[in-house]
Structure 1
Amino acid sequence: MNRTNLRVLQRVLAQEAGYADSIDGIHGPRTTAAVERMLAARAASLPDGADRWSARRRAVACLQLACHEHEIDAGAIDGLWGPQTDFAADALAERLRTGEAPVPWREETPADHNPNGWPAEEGVQAAFGAPCEVSRVTVPCPWRLQLAWDMRQSVSGISCHERVVESLARVLQRVHGLYGEARLRELGLHRYGGCYNCRRKRRGTTWSTHAWAVAIDWDPAHNRLAWGRDRARLARPEYEDWWRCWEAEGWVSLGRHRNFDWMHVQAVRI
């Protein structure tokens, strides 16, 4: 959690837990004390073992709870800073600033190449079944992945919808053959942001393609949702072959086609 996010948390604590110090983004003892007061009042919403978390992790959990109380989906209350918590914190900051939820936004740009017959967004349920009720298979990854929100944890494969298994395996093999393990790590392509996630679109109202396990996020910290080509790492020229590997199988990059959410690639047409 950076200083900007801590300021958001401190504003919440000022409203909910008697925090009366500066809104300065510094995690001092008074911020910690206010976090503890807020969590104590919401102990029933915390998972088992949360009392043993570090002060930093408990502060993140506190912010996650605040997001949920403002009807912003921050994912599980786990005290871990992932892409969903990062988005939720931004949305909470806007709500605190304006008094209103962020306005949903999505652009429309068609894609062409589709050798696997991936469905358009309106046909996802017909093609892949009900959201959050899909049959998943783990595809081994040829290079070592680490969870973007907890780099201490390694992942050996990607759990995805059974229909996209063979295509995803081909993409991963091609990518590994082109770049190799060392270069993939240099490019941050070992920072895995997840595949399956039963949630709706961020700043949208329909189900995310993650709810069908047919979308994958990569290096979310350097390719944030609203960032365009001027900021997103995956928009740089050194990632051109990366995207060609995906596009050869008909997967769609929201960054390349809509210039936002550069972390995201999906087996769904737009």
Structure 2
Amino acid sequence: MNRTAIRTLQRFLADNDRYRGKIDGIRGPKTLAAVNASLQTHADRLPDGAERWSDRRRAIACLQLACREKRIEVGPIDGLWGPQTEYAVDVLATLQETGSKPAPWRDQAPQDANPNGWYREAELEQTLGSPTRKPPMVVVPCPWKLALAWDLNTCPSGIGCHEQVADSLARILDRAHDHYGPQRLKELGLHRYGGCYNKRRKRGGTRWSTHAWGLAIDWDPAHNKLKWGRDRARLARPEYDTWWRLWEEEGWVSLGRTRNFDWMHVQAARL
């Protein structure tokens, strides 16, 4: 249970007129009092002995009840933070933020749009030139404050990319900013910029990376590592559905969404 989950809990309690403090993700006295009041109201839905649970476990139970109220499958009300509860709370957070539950990702394939006519990876050297030569670059300003993922005190003003993808990237960044806002983007870790242009081959492979043409961007690499799949990567969570939709509508490809690895990576090149 992290601060994001506690903020979700605080919003639920506030919506039910039990909490009037800050939505700060801190499980302080006001939050605890609101949790206890809420659980007392729903005592008939709790197992025997719940009154002896720790404050943390009671807070989780309150979140589980909140999910039940919104008809989100959460499992038993046991106050334990397992995978089902974590997923259900993510769905609840998305519902609070957007007014609707995220689309079931296992029922939908990523969009296969290509409105900008991006080349396939195998065509890049023939169409855009050798990856050993630096491509024509443009710096696209970012409408929210970025920080280098490996040095958060360094804040680039924009993203340097191949000139052919600059207009598309600018549209995506503007739409993401309009949808989420700067505070939510930071909460989601989407200010943690992992780089675009990098003259190198694919990690774990022999072919040139799309980074070598300035066609790919990495986001929040510390929480979306190369070999991590949907069960671990942060960018695989439901609250990022709109983020990925914005990229896919412009024809960019998420390796996480299509291959279930390297969730940090999105590219303007077809596989």
Q: Normalising by structure 2, what TM-score?
A: 0.58
Is contact 1:111-1:269 (8 Å) kept?
no
Note the C-alpha offset of 1:243: 0.2
Note the C-alpha offset of 1:112: 2.2
Is contact 2:110-2:248 (8 Å) kept?
no
Note the C-alpha offset of 1:118: 0.5
Three-state SS of the structure 2 residue aligned to 1:151 is coil
Q: 2:120 is matched by which residue type in structure 1?
A: A
Q: What pairs with 1:244-259 in structure 2 (closer than 5 Å)?
A: 244-259=245-260
**What's the counterpart of residue 203 of structure 1?**
204
Q: 2:153 is matched by which residue type in structure 1?
A: R
**What's the counterpart of residue 128 of structure 2?**
128
Structure 1 residues 252 and 119: alpha-carbon distance in aligned structure 2, compared to 1, 3 A threshold: same
Is contact 2:111-2:248 (8 Å) kept?
no
Q: How far apart, CA to CA, are the structure 1 residues paired with 2:110 and 2:147?
A: 32
Structure 1 residues 131 and 111: alpha-carbon distance in aligned structure 2, compared to 1, 3 A threshold: farther
Q: What pairs with 1:69-218 in structure 2 (closer than 5 Å)?
A: 112-133=112-133, 134-218=135-219
Q: How far apart, CA to CA, are the structure 1 residues paired with 2:126 and 2:110?
A: 20
Note the C-alpha offset of 1:129: 2.0
Note the C-alpha offset of 1:130: 1.6
Q: 2:113 is matched by which residue type in structure 1?
A: H
Q: How far apart, CA to CA, are the structure 2 residues paired with 1:196 and 1:265?
A: 12
Three-state SS of the structure 1 residue aligned to 2:204 is coil
Q: How far apart, CA to CA, are the structure 1 residues paired with 2:172 and 2:183?
A: 18
Q: How far apart, CA to CA, are the structure 2 residues paired with 1:156 and 1:197?
A: 18
Is contact 2:201-2:208 (8 Å) kept?
yes
Give structure 1 stretches of 5+ with no counterpart: 1-108
Three-state SS of the structure 2 residue aligned to 1:163 is helix
Is contact 2:197-2:215 (8 Å) kept?
yes
Q: Normalising by structure 1, what TM-score?
A: 0.59
Quick check: which one's strand share is greater? 1
Note the C-alpha offset of 1:193: 0.1
Three-state SS of the structure 2 residue aligned to 1:201 is coil
Note the C-alpha offset of 1:125: 1.6
Q: 1:194 is matched by which residue type in structure 2?
A: G
Note the C-alpha offset of 1:111: 6.9
Q: Give the number of equivalent residue pairs.
A: 162
Is contact 1:111-1:257 (8 Å) kept?
no
**What's the counterpart of residue 221 of structure 1?**
222
Q: How far apart, CA to CA, are the structure 2 residues paired with 1:194 and 1:162?
A: 16
Deviations 1:125-156 (A, max 9, x none): 22322214201010000001000001110011
Is contact 1:141-1:156 (8 Å) kept?
yes
Percent identical pairs in the alignment equals 68
Is contact 1:118-1:267 (8 Å) kept?
yes
Structure 1 residues 193 and 137: alpha-carbon distance in aligned structure 2, compared to 1, 3 A threshold: same
Is contact 1:110-1:257 (8 Å) kept?
yes
Q: 1:198 is matched by which residue type in structure 2?
A: K
**What's the counterpart of residue 264 of structure 1?**
265
Is contact 1:146-1:154 (8 Å) kept?
yes
Aligned CA RMSD, in angstroms, stands at 1.4
Q: 2:256 is matched by which residue type in structure 1?
A: G
Give structure 2 stretches of 5+ with no counterpart: 1-108
Note the C-alpha offset of 1:210: 0.3
Note the C-alpha offset of 1:252: 0.1
Q: How far apart, CA to CA, are the structure 2 residues paired with 1:146 and 1:132?
A: 27
Over 3 Å off, 4+ runs = none
Q: 1:260 is matched by which residue type in structure 2?
A: F
Note the C-alpha offset of 1:255: 0.1
